[in-house]
Amino acid sequence: MHHVLTFDLHGHGHCLYTEALDLSAIGPLHISRASTIEHNHATQQWEVRDASGELLHQHPARSACLAWEHHYFNR
């Protein structure tokens, strides 16, 4: 799995958090959730929702949602 770290014009880095790389070594961290993955009991699907609650993706397997989330936010 690839990890993508991008920097904006102000020098702020943006990425999906990973412990594969010690991000605190490059400075203080400000972490906010890009999405949530929760199980919907009614549909029996795992759902990926953005910070505003909009449904982005759903699948019966949580691992598929995690992979989708990783691909979506690293594009």
Has residue 1 got a pLDDT over 80? no
Q: Alpha-carbon distance 44 to 60, whole Å?
A: 7
Counting the structural domains of the chain, the total is: 1
Using the 8-state DSSP alphabet, how is residue 34 labeled? Answer: S
- The answer to whether position 64 is within a domain reads yes
In this predicted structure, what is the pLDDT of residue 37?
A: 96
- The answer to whether position 28 is within a domain reads yes
50 — pLDDT class (breaks 50, 70, 90): very high
Average pLDDT over residues 12-17: 84
Domain that holds residue 51: 6-73
- The answer to whether position 1 is within a domain reads no
- The answer to whether position 13 is within a domain reads yes
Per residue in 17-36, pLDDT tens? 878 888 889 889 888 888 99
- The answer to whether position 16 is within a domain reads yes
Q: Alpha-carbon distance 41 to 9, whole Å?
A: 43
- The answer to whether position 23 is within a domain reads yes
Q: Alpha-carbon distance 23 to 13, whole Å?
A: 10
Per residue in 52-69, pLDDT tens? 999 999 999 999 999 999
